[in-house]
């Protein structure tokens, strides 16, 4: 089962909720994660169950980053607000860096999210399942 994370800055939360509503059928059989408020808003508007971490500024970004570092995440949809300074910008940069280091696809806007989710729907993430079979596990 593929793992997908949702994160959205305050002014992008409604856009992410609407995006997830549109693709609820694609996410229905995935294991879903999110930062706190974003996950709550998605669950209020859909039938999806989401494991919610802390709010982003309180460490939720870092909790998702931990899963990425352990190769436990397959896709991150992180709708960023490029026009608003974020007080936890170093955490955001670290999360995006982890995605790059570990080869995790990440969408930072709806256009890239659309492409990745359509690929997910077509089954183009089969390569992640191969990674899953051969990845080293961190002792928990």
Q: Residue 15 belongs to a domain with what CATH number? A: 3.40.50.1380
Residue 71 domain-assigned (yes or no) = yes
Can you list the alpha helix ranges (DSSP code H) found in the chain?
13-22, 24-27, 36-45, 60-69, 89-102, 110-122, 126-134
pLDDT digits (tens, 9 = 90+) for 6-20: 999 999 999 999 999
Average pLDDT over every residue of 113-130: 87
Residues near 42 by beta carbon (within 8 Å), at least 6 away in sequence: 6, 16, 17, 20, 34, 48, 50
Phi, psi of 88 (to 5 degrees): -105, 35
Residue 101 domain-assigned (yes or no) = yes
Q: At what angle do helices 13-22 and 36-45 cross, to 10 degrees?
A: 40
% pLDDT > 70, the chain = 89
Residue 63 domain-assigned (yes or no) = yes
Higher pLDDT, 38 or 135: 38
Average pLDDT over every residue of 16-32: 98
Residue 21 domain-assigned (yes or no) = yes
Q: What range defines the domain where residue 32 resides?
A: 3-134
Q: At what angle do helices 13-22 and 110-122 cross, to 10 degrees?
A: 20
Residue 108 domain-assigned (yes or no) = yes
Give me the pLDDT at residue 69, please: 94
Give me the pLDDT at residue 86, please: 73
Whether residue 138 is predicted with pLDDT greater than 60 in this model: the reply is: no
Please tell me which residue in 61, 74, 121, 124 is annotated as part of the active site. Answer: 61
Whole-model pTM? 0.89
Residue 139 domain-assigned (yes or no) = no
Give me the pLDDT at residue 16, please: 98
Whether residue 140 is predicted with pLDDT greater than 60 in this model: the reply is: no
Q: How confident is the model at residue 132 (pLDDT cuts 50, 70, 90)?
A: low
**CA-to-CA separations, 138 to 63, 66, 67, 72, in angstroms, rounded:** 15, 11, 10, 10
Instruction: Give the separation between CA 44 and CA 41, rounded to whole angstroms.
Output: 5
Reply yes or no on whether 91 is catalytic: no
Residue 140 domain-assigned (yes or no) = no
Give me the pLDDT at residue 97, please: 95
Domains contained in the chain, number: 1
Whether residue 56 is predicted with pLDDT greater than 90 in this model: the reply is: no
Query: Cβ-count burial of 104 within 10 angstroms (0-12 exposed, 13-18 middle, 19+ buried)?
Result: buried
Q: How confident is the model at residue 84 (pLDDT cuts 50, 70, 90)?
A: confident
């Amino acid at each position: 089962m593929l793992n997908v994370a949702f994160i959205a800055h305050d002014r992008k939360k409604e856009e992410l909720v609407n995006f997830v509503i549109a693709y609820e059928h694609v996410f229905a059989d995935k294991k879903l994660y999110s930062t706190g408020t974003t996950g709550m808003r998605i669950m209020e508007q859909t039938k999806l169950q989401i494991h919610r971490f802390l709010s982003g500024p309180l460490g939720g970004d870092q909790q998702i980053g931990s899963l990425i570092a352990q190769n436990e995440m397959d896709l991150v949809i992180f709708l960023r607000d490029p026009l608003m300074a974020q007080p936890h910008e170093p955490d955001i940069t670290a999360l995006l860096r982890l995605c790059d280091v570990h080869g995790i696809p990440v969408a930072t806007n709806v256009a890239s999210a659309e492409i990745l989710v359509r690929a997910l729907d077509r089954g183009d993430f089969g390569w992640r399942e191969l990674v899953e079979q051969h990845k080293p596990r961190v002792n928990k």
